[in-house]
């Protein structure tokens, strides 16, 4: 099972508890750092631009390196977009597809959100603050990420500021300032094709998991994605935002295990 993480996030953003539940369910779990994240190499985007199709090819290259012919592909957020591209470009490598808090829509450069949705006012406020008062120190960078995490958390569980800060600081220690990563990934998403009409050709059994309180990729994006892929199953998670909160992990793991058990290796 290949886990593909989202914009600016490292492979370690996949919760250990979720990975453990998938492992206990009999899956061999692989999580990794996308290009420009974590311990992977950094890219001068102006000199070497890339799109989500390139990141999809990276993932298939990883499967090649691991000697894996086909995998259950699970993507979160931008990782779900990459997972769609894997299924479109390399259908024989995808046993099943799971997209969590994701979309097939293109990112509108004018609005900063996915076509068909509007940017939430709280995100607009956060965007404005980053532009007017760019973080200048490590602590300010961590605080900015913490503020964003709070906005995206949803109501399923109380926001745990201490634990979230610890995770952000851990990732910062592992890979340094993620501003470069986030900027490049935004460029990659904006430069990528709209998949709204393309995903109808996906033949891999597909599961769409989406929080009802997602402010980054609103729930209608997940509903539209599921409607566009023939035979797909939509699982709403009440109160979940654009995150993977601890109370939702047993349900998410159970749904993924059920979905992937229908297709053998």
Looking at the predicted structure, is the pLDDT value of residue 6 above 80? yes
- 242 has catalytic annotation: yes
* DSSP codes, 39-101: TSPP--TTTS---HHHHHHHHHHHHHHHT-S-EEEEEETHHHHHHHHHHHH-GGGEEEEEEES
Average pLDDT over every residue of 164-176: 89
Q: What is the pLDDT of residue 51?
A: 97
**Is the pLDDT confidence value at 46 over 90?**
yes
Q: Is 232 a catalytic residue?
A: no
Q: What is the residue-averaged pLDDT of the chain?
A: 94
> Which conformational region is residue 111 in: left (phi greater than 0), alpha (psi within -120 to 50 degrees), or beta?
alpha
Segment 217-231 shows an average pLDDT of 97
pLDDT of residue 225: 98
Which residue among 33, 36, 171, 214 is the active-site one?
214
pLDDT > 70: percent of the chain: 99
Q: 109 by DSSP, 3-state: which?
A: coil
Of 8-12, 19-23, 176-180, the range with the lowest mean pLDDT is: 176-180
The pLDDT, as a whole number, for residue 111 is 75
Options 72, 77, 153, 204, the catalytic residue: 77
Question: Residue 265: is its pLDDT beyond 70?
Answer: no
Res. 263: pLDDT tops 90: no
Domains of the chain, first to last: 2-117+178-260 (3.40.50.1820)
- Please say if 155 is a catalytic residue: no
In 58-216, DSSP assigns E strands to 71-76, 94-100, 107-108, 113-114, 206-211
pLDDT at residue 162, as a whole number: 93
Q: Following CA atoms 163, 169, 175, 176 in sequence, which dihedral angle do they give, to the nearest 10 degrees?
A: 150
Span 70-91, pLDDT tens digits: 999 999 999 999 999 999 999 9
Looking at 185, 210, 242, 259, which residue is catalytic?
242
> From residue 134, how far is each of 37, 172, 175, 184 by CA, in Å?
21, 17, 20, 17
Q: Residue 264 has what pLDDT? A: 57
CA distances from 233 to 27, 99, 224, 251 (A): 21, 10, 12, 15
For the whole model, what pTM was predicted?
0.95
Closest C-alpha to 29, from 85, 73, 83: 73
Least confident of 23-32, 125-134, 226-235: 125-134
């Amino acid at each position: 099972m290949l886990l593909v993480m989202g914009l600016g996030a490292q492979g370690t953003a996949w919760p250990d508890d979720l990975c453990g539940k998938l492992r206990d369910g009999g899956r061999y779990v692989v999580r990794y750092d996308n290009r420009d994240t974590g311990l992977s190499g950094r890219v001068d985007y102006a000199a070497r631009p890339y799109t989500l199709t390139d990141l999809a090819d990276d993932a298939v290259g990883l499967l090649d390196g691991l000697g894996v012919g086909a995998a259950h592909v699970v993507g979160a957020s931008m990782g779900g977009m990459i997972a769609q591209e894997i299924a479109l470009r390399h259908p024989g490598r995808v046993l099943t597809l799971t997209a969590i808090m994701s979309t097939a829509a293109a990112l509108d450069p004018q609005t900063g959100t996915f076509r068909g949705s509007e940017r939430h006012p709280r995100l607009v406020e956060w965007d404005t603050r980053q532009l007017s008062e760019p973080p200048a120190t490590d602590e300010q960078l961590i605080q900015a990420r913490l503020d964003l995490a709070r906005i995206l958390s949803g109501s399923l569980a109380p926001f745990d500021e201490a634990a979230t800060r610890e995770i952000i600081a851990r990732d910062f220690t592992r890979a340094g300032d993620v501003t470069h990563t986030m900027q490049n990934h935004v460029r990659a998403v904006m430069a990528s094709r709209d998949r709204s009409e393309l995903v109808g050709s996906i033949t891999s059994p597909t599961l769409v998991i989406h929080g009802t309180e997602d402010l980054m990729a609103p729930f209608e994006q997940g509903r539209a994605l599921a409607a566009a892929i023939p035979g797909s199953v939509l699982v709403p998670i009440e109160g979940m935002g654009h995150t993977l909160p601890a109370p939702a992990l047993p349900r998410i793991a159970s749904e993924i295990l059920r979905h992937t058990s229908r297709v053998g290796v």
